[in-house]
Chain A
Amino acid sequence: MTAILEMRGISKSFPGVKALRNVNLAVEAGEIHAICGENGAGKSTLMKILSGVYPHGTYEGEIIYQGAERRFASISDSEHLGIIIIHQELALVPLLSIAENIFLGNEPAKMGVIDWDVAFSRTRELLARVGLKESPRALITNLGVGKQQLVEIAKALSKKVQLLILDEPTASLNETDSEALLKLLLEFKSHGITSILISHKLNELAKVADHITVLRDGSTVETINCRTEKIDEGRIIKSMVGREMSERYPPREPHVGERLFEIREWRVEHPLHAGREVIKGIDLHVNAGEVVGIAGLMGSGRTELAMSVFGRAYGRNVRGQALMQGRAIDVSSIQKAVANGLAYVTEDRKTLGLILNDDIRSNVTLANLPAIAWRGVLDDHKEATVANQYRSKLNIRSSSILQRTLTLSGGNQQKVVLSKWLFANPQVLILDEPTRGIDVGAKYEIYTIINDLAASGKGVIVISSEMPELLGICDRLYVMNEGRLVGEMPAHEASQEKIMASIMRYEGAAQ
């Protein structure tokens, strides 16, 4: 077998973060090559480099594809050579038809006039190849996610695909759709199409993959040959998560007090699809002075849970009970949730956390303006004092409190968002991915802040996709999967293998 693709010594940094470190990947022609790793291990970044989303020159290393070194400047360069990527979030226009979507930007046209006969007949052929029985005129919005996925693949086929990259294709599919999709990949393989499959679902990989490359922390750990070696899930998990846990977390001595905050039988439906439960009955509590972690894969519903608790900022038909120190509290609006002592620090600080165009000062005080105002008139002296306090306490590196938050680094932006909620003086803080996209040093500082919060008697709930982080800073862990809690354990008894096992056990049981 010859290699269709070789990526050699690929490194890529973002401001403050090294996303990839000398990654090597070799894919044989006509195989199905799986890539797995934790969230943030660098899988998507690697694929974005391969497809030209990050153009040549923004990374180090070289890409050899079909025998020659390639320097893609854009996606169209890589598509031209038959490298097609299908992203986790589908890139279809919902109100256009299947045919229009398949040929979007690539219409069979003469002088700008589309030849719809050709478009429709070719669409029919393509749909037959992916096994989708729908009219080419059907609108995307009327199709289920599984069928939309097939349209994406048909679109890839229309571009004469030679290397098909699928990023978590089955994450949002049900069992039958996943099965069909995997079968399709095997069929493509028999026609000589090479596929790269990114997935968390190890059982699926076992069914179809020829090789599995494991990434961890932006480096290649190993490539397993599944033809010669029996795949052992435990081994892959260890390979995915087995990094050293050295001095990356501040020492923690928990003083856990009384039960502080609790939710019971919490159920939430999808905001657009009434009746589709996203959170399926969750009981969870946090004690005073305790740091509780919620582990889980992406899409397990952790953010949805947190935002629905925080004033129904997510979902519809939210049901369940919320209690603070044993008394039922009303969290039906964000104002009430804040007034009742809750704070939610979003995972998406740029679009949901900060007013990027405003300075540090006004971002810090935004959630608690009445505290620096008298009858609606701001006390600018008090405001500046407060902002300066948080700036020095949380060590926000900036020229002054008048620096615009847009120009701060990720870690310092996160500290501004944290300051905002600290100033609102909540009893319970829900931190959603508090260290995403920030460097190791800033992470340590954030962990220290979390420790201090717990030490002051507050309850802290941390949602994180980085399991070592949860193990390093939490006292107790919940494991969440598909809208349910599937495990609960004290942190000292927990391990990454145990967490993964709870998730896998649940997925296994569901099948």
Chain B
Amino acid sequence: MKHETIAAAAPSRTAGVGVWRTNLRDYGLLASLLVIMAFFEFLTSGVLLAPVNITNLILQNSYIVIMALGMLLIIVGGNIDLSVGSIVGFVGAIAAILMVDYKMPWVPVVGLSLLLGAVIGAAQGWFVAYARIPSFIVTLGGMLIFRGLTGNILLGQFVGPFPKEFQSISSGFIPDFLSPLASTFGDMALFGASFRWTSMLIGVAGAALLLFTSARRWRREKEHTMETEPFPLFVGKNAVFAVLIVGFSYLLSSYRGLPNVLITMGVLILFYMFVTTRMTIGRRIYALGGNRLAAQLSGIRTERLIWATFVNMGLLAGLAGLIVAARLNSATPSAGNSFELDVIAACFIGGASASGGVGKVMGVVIGAFVMGVMNNGMSILGIGIYWQYVVKGLVLLAAVYVDISQKNQG
């Protein structure tokens, strides 16, 4: 963006170009997700977007998205965490043993498991932040340690099954309060008797919330004469998002409604969007990753901040461990195997920079679904797992290549 240095001379036009450029990546990413979805929808003759498959897609990818939120903060802060897959397995195993062997009720088990994840993150974070060992090494160690511990605890066995309530963390759907109500109004003909009205309404509310917050943001930027997006672009982008959300809610509502885990994921996505864009701690993490020395000299406690990103990651990995265990209804020694690769790939496809300081929550979520849709679509098509690796690897490389060559041009 060399032209921006002289932008003061010709502000309006160049500013517009700058906005196009900076947002091109976001639109491009979203567009490629849509293209990939359309592609598989066509190849699978409509199976991909069938309500039951959409539900599966969400169940399969929720834990990847959840961990990618934590990984984003780690990567933005200039580090990496290779141990998350092993933490998933380890936390799942401990939870399973507490519930199955020690008959502990599921609620305290959930609490203890999350705490365990956070403690693991805190320990690894200490080595990275305070002992200044590169995160790659610390978490490579963690990856081996917790994978090994998982195997030792489970003695190669499956441990399960779990109480129904625990399973519903992952495989439950939000209950429907409104359907009996709706049926009395007699629009059953249009949506079918089992249409989940509560889920549909939550989806619509979500879309409305999105429109409201982005409209607020857009107005703010205009007010402060910042480079806002051109109005048509702004409207178009949000319309696409709103239609997507409502459309998917409709599809899901016509099956079993919104899965519980989708609500968990959605709340977390909103929370981390808020943290990264609106909270001081988020701002400081970006500053830390952008220039650690400058952040330090601005009075930011960089060590503590790095440590915090690892605690957060551990907590989310613990949550993912519970979700995975609940979904499989057992703990297995191989649970969470190579999840770290999908999580990290999601971040980089989503536009996070390997050198830190750059990355957005929305990008990472889309990145995770790019991986998820490809996994799912190729599985439906019966493509072998090894070819799936090849394709995913190529997509990762291509996404980052496009990203970097765009930046170099700019």
What is the interface of chain A, defined by CB distance below 8 A to chain B? 310-311, 313, 334-335, 337-338, 344, 346, 351-358, 361-362, 366-367, 369-370, 373, 376-378, 380-381, 384-385, 388, 397-404, 407-409, 420, 424
> Shortest Cβ distance from B15 into chain A, in angstroms?
5
Docked Cα-Cα span, A338 to B18, in Å, equals 36
Is A376's CB under 8 angstroms from B279's CB? yes
Stretch at the interface among B127-135, B223-231, B328-336: B223-231
Residue of B nearest to A362 (CB): B283
With A378-B278, A403-B7 as known contacts, state yes or no: A334 contacts B286, CB within 8 Å.
Answer: no
A353→B286 contact, CB < 8 A: no
Binds A, one of B110-118, B234-242, B293-301, B381-389: B293-301
Asked if B408 CB lies within 8 Å of chain A CBs, one says no
A254 to chain B, nearest CB (A): 29
> Assuming the A-B contacts A399-B15, A407-B1, A407-B2, are A355 and B278 also in contact, with contact meaning beta carbons closer than 8 angstroms in the complex?
no
Whether B357 contacts A357 by the Cβ 8 Å rule is yes
Q: Which of B280, B287, B298, B299 contacts A378 (CB 8 A)?
A: B280
A337 nearest in chain B by CB position: B299
- The answer to whether B220 has its CB under 8 Å from any CB of chain A is yes
A356 to B8, CA, bound (A): 19
Instruction: Determine the chain A residues whose CB is within 8 A of the CB of B155 once the complex forms.
Output: none
Asked whether A351 and B283 contact (CB < 8 A) given A400-B225, A404-B1, A407-B4, the answer is no
Assembled-state Cα–Cα distance A406/B291 (Å): 12
Residues of B near A399 (CB, < 8 A) are 4, 7-8, 11, 14-15, 18, 227
Identify A384's interface contact among B1, B11, B220, CB under 8 A. Answer: B220
* Sample (14) of A-B pairs whose CB atoms are under 8 Å apart: A351-B294, A352-B297, A355-B291, A362-B283, A366-B283, A366-B287, A378-B283, A385-B224, A398-B7, A399-B227, A400-B11, A403-B4, A404-B1, A407-B4
The 4 closest A-B pairs by CB, nearest first: A399-B7, A355-B290, A384-B224, A367-B298
Q: Is the CB of A380 within 8 A of B279?
A: no
Residues of A within 8 A of B72 (CB): none
Q: Which B94-137 residues sit within 8 Å CB-CB of chain A?
A: none
Q: How far is A404 from B281 in the complex, measured between Cα atoms in Å?
A: 20
Identify the B interface with A (CB < 8 A): 1-2, 4-5, 7-8, 11, 14-15, 18, 217, 220-221, 223-227, 274, 278-281, 283-284, 286-287, 290-291, 293-301, 357-358
Q: How far is the CA of A247 from the CA of B296 in the complex (A)?
A: 38
Name the CB-closest residue of A to B356.
A357
Residues of B within 8 A of A424 (CB): 299
Most buried by A among B11, B284, B298: B298
Q: Is the CB of A377 within 8 A of B291?
A: no
Is the pair A401, B15 in contact by a Cβ cutoff of 8 Å? Answer: no
- State whether B278 touches A377 (Cβ < 8 A): yes
Please name all residues of chain B whose beta carbon is closer than 8 Å to the beta carbon of A384 when the two chains form the complex.
220-221, 223-224, 226
Is B5 a contact partner of A334 (Cβ separation < 8 A)?
no
Interface of B, secondary structure class, is helix
Cα of A362 to Cα of B277 in the assembled complex, Å = 11
Q: Assess the A388–B290 pair: CB atoms within 8 A.
A: no
> A362 touching B7 by the CB < 8 A rule?
no
Q: What B residues does A337 contact at CB under 8 A?
A: 299
Contacts of A397 in B (CB 8 A): 8
**Cα distance A402–B221 when bound, in Å?**
10
Contact A338 B299 (CB under 8 A): yes
Q: Do A358 and B287 have beta carbons less than 8 Å apart? A: yes
| Complex alpha-carbon distance, A420 and B295, angstroms | 12
CB distance from A441 to the nearest CB of B (A): 14
Residues of A within 8 A of B298 (CB): 366-367, 420
Cα distance, A349 to B7, chains bound together (Å):
22
Main secondary structure of the interface of A (DSSP, over half): mixed
Q: A373-B279, A378-B283 are in contact. List 8 more A-B contacts (CB 8 A).
A: A352-B294, A366-B295, A377-B274, A377-B279, A384-B221, A384-B223, A400-B11, A404-B4
Residue of A nearest to B19 (CB): A402
Shortest beta-carbon distance from B227 to chain A in Å: 5
- A369-B224 contact, Cβ under 8 Å, with A399-B8, A407-B1, A420-B298: no
B226 touches A409 (CB 8 A): no
Nearest opposing residue in chain A for B358, CB measure: A357
Total residue contacts A-B, CB cutoff 8 A: 118
Closest to B278 in A: A378
- State whether B296 touches A313 (Cβ < 8 A): yes
Contact present for A376 and B7 (CB under 8 Å): no
Q: How far is the CA of A435 from the CA of B325 in the complex (A)?
A: 60
Which residues of the partner chain A approach B4 to less than 8 Å between Cβ atoms?
399, 403-404, 407
Q: Are A400 and B15 in contact (CB-based, < 8 A)? A: yes
Given contacts A362-B283, A384-B220, A401-B226, contact A335 B299 (CB under 8 A): yes
CB distance from A65 to the nearest CB of B (A): 34
A358 and B280 contact, CB distance less than 8 A:
no
CB-CB < 8 A to A355: which residues of B? 286-287, 290-291, 294-295, 357
**Distance between Cα atoms of A49 and B293 in the complex (Å):** 31
Residues of A within 8 A of B11 (CB): 399-400
Contacts of A420 in B (CB 8 A): 298
Most buried by A among B5, B11, B274, B295: B5
Please give the distance in Å from B256's CB to the nearest CB on chain A. 36
Closest CB of chain B to A511's CB: distance in Å?
37
B13 to chain A, nearest CB (A): 10
Q: Which residues of A contact B18 (CB under 8 A)?
A: 399, 403
Contact of A353 among B2, B221, B297 (CB under 8 A): B297
How far is A192 from B80 in the complex, measured between Cα atoms in Å? Answer: 57
Give the CA-CA distance A362 to B227 in the complex, in Å. Answer: 15
A407 to chain B, nearest CB (A): 4
Residue from B217, B283, B297, B358 within 8 A of A369 (CB atoms): B283
Q: What's the minimum C-beta distance from B1 to chain A, rounded to whole angstroms?
A: 5
Smallest Cβ-Cβ distance to A313: which chain B residue? B297
Which residue, of A354, A369, A404, has the highest number of chain B Cβ atoms within 10 A? A369
Partner of A380, one of B8, B278, B299, B300: B278
A residues less than 8 Å from B217 (CB atoms): 380
* Contact status A373-B280, CB under 8 Å: yes
> With the chains together, A357 CA to B288 CA distance in Å?
11
Taking a contact as CB atoms under 8 Å apart, the answer to whether A401 and B299 are in contact is no
B301 and A335: CB pair below 8 A? yes
A45 to chain B, nearest CB (A): 22
Cα–Cα, bound, A398→B278 (Å) = 24
Residues on A with beta carbons closer than 8 Å to the beta carbon of B8:
397-399
The reply to whether A334 and B7 form a contact with Cβ atoms under 8 Å apart is: no
Write the nearest CB–CB distance from A102 to chain B, whole angstroms.
32
CB-CB under 8 A for A358 and B226, given A370-B280, A377-B279, A400-B15: no
A residues in contact with B358, CB < 8 Å: 357
Q: Are A358 and B224 in contact (CB under 8 A)?
A: no
Q: Which residues of chain B are near A338, meaning CB under 8 Å?
A: 299
Q: Check if B5 sits within 8 Å of A362, measured CB to CB.
A: no
Q: How far is the CB of A426 from chain B (nearest CB, A)?
A: 11
Partner of B299, one of A334, A385, A407: A334
Q: Which residues from chain B contact A356 at a C-beta distance below 8 Å?
A: 290-291
Task: Please give me the residue from chain B that is nearest to A424 by CB atom.
Answer: B299
- Rounded to whole Å, the gap between the CB of A224 and the closest CB of chain B is 42
**Complexed CA–CA distance, A403 and B280 (Å):** 20
Q: Which residues of B contact A351 (CB under 8 A)?
A: 291, 293-294
Report the nearest B residue to A310, measured CB to CB: B297
* Shortest distance from the beta carbon of B160 to any chain A beta carbon, whole Å: 40
A208 CA / B230 CA spacing, docked (Å): 68
Tell me if A346 and B297 are in contact (CB < 8 A).
yes
Q: Check A409–B5 contact: CB distance below 8 A.
A: yes
User: In the complex, which residue of chain B has the Cβ closest to the Cβ of A373?
Assistant: B280
**Cα–Cα, bound, A424→B225 (Å):** 24
Chain B residues within 8 Å of A313, by CB: 296-297
B residues near A370, Cβ cutoff 8 Å: 280
A400 and B280 contact, CB distance less than 8 A: no
CB distance from B336 to the nearest CB of A (A): 32
CA of A346 to CA of B274 in the docked complex: distance in angstroms? 32
Whether A378 contacts B291 by the Cβ 8 Å rule is: no
Nearest chain B CB to A405 CB, angstrom units: 10
